[in-house]
Amino acid sequence: MRGPIQKHTSVSLRLRLLSRLRGGAAFTKGALRVALDAQEGQLREVLNRLRDDGWIEEVGLDPRRSKLLALTEAGKRGAEGELSTFGQLKGDAQTNMWRTARRMREFTPVDLTAWASVPGAEVDLQAARAFCAILLRGGYVRVVRKAKSGVNEAIYRLINDTGPRPPVEKRVRAIYDANEERLVHVPGSGQ
């Protein structure tokens, strides 16, 4: 059984692979592995699934006698549909990051940056990390793999999907009594 990290990697790798192949060019497994910076076993797993689904096929050999792979017609249609699910986002950056998180279920800040950015609502890595921190503080996600500085980003798993609108961190004006060490008034709370 695959663990959460492998599942996350497979989804992300599948999307990157489909994006690379949808232009119609043929590639060898080796070229794809290098272009996608993928581990051989993970790439083989994704390619086997795509082949089993009838989305890719061997179309010949390159000069070194390595098999060339390309999308079938069904694969091209499927890739466009699958990629458009992630690519046709509308709204502000935070809404797009939330939609992406809901669709992927497991993601990194880099995934949010790549899949939630659209013209007019770009998402940079700092904003994606901040959004992940908000989700973590709010109990919407759990850390699957901790980040290692300079090595990899944290992987988050969505555990509380409350609907289409993103959680928003708000600053609340409240009155705190330091003598009693309690909040004496929070607007809208009836205190």
How many other CB atoms sit within 10 Å of the CB of residue 52?
9
What are 94-120's pLDDT values in tens digits? 988 998 899 888 999 988 888 887 767
Domains located in the chain, CATH noted:
4-82 (1.10.10.10), 89-191 (1.10.10.10)
Would you state the pLDDT for residue 2?
41
Going by pLDDT thresholds of 50, 70 and 90, the confidence category of residue 185 is: confident
Percent of the chain residues topping a pLDDT of 90: 18
Is the pLDDT reported for residue 144 higher than 50?
yes
Going by pLDDT thresholds of 50, 70 and 90, the confidence category of residue 126 is: very high
Going by pLDDT thresholds of 50, 70 and 90, the confidence category of residue 139 is: very high
More confidently predicted of 153 and 83: 153
Would you state the pLDDT for residue 146?
94
For 75-93, b where at least 16 C-beta lie within 10 A, e where not — what string? bbebbeebeeebeebebeb
Q: Give the H/E segment covering residue 155.
A: strand 155-158
Any residues with CB less than 8 A from the CB of 99 and at least 6 apart, and which?
89, 91, 116, 164
Contact 155, 146 (CB under 8 A): no
**107 pairs with which residues across the strands?**
156
Full-model pTM:
0.51
Would you state the pLDDT for residue 64?
82
Residues listed for the chain: 191
What are 147-180's pLDDT values in tens digits? 988 888 899 999 999 888 898 887 777 787 788 8
Spatial strand order in the sheet of 141-145: 106-107, 155-158, 141-145
Torsion on CA atoms 134, 151, 111, 77, rounded to nearest 10: -160
Both structure tokens of 32 = 């794809």
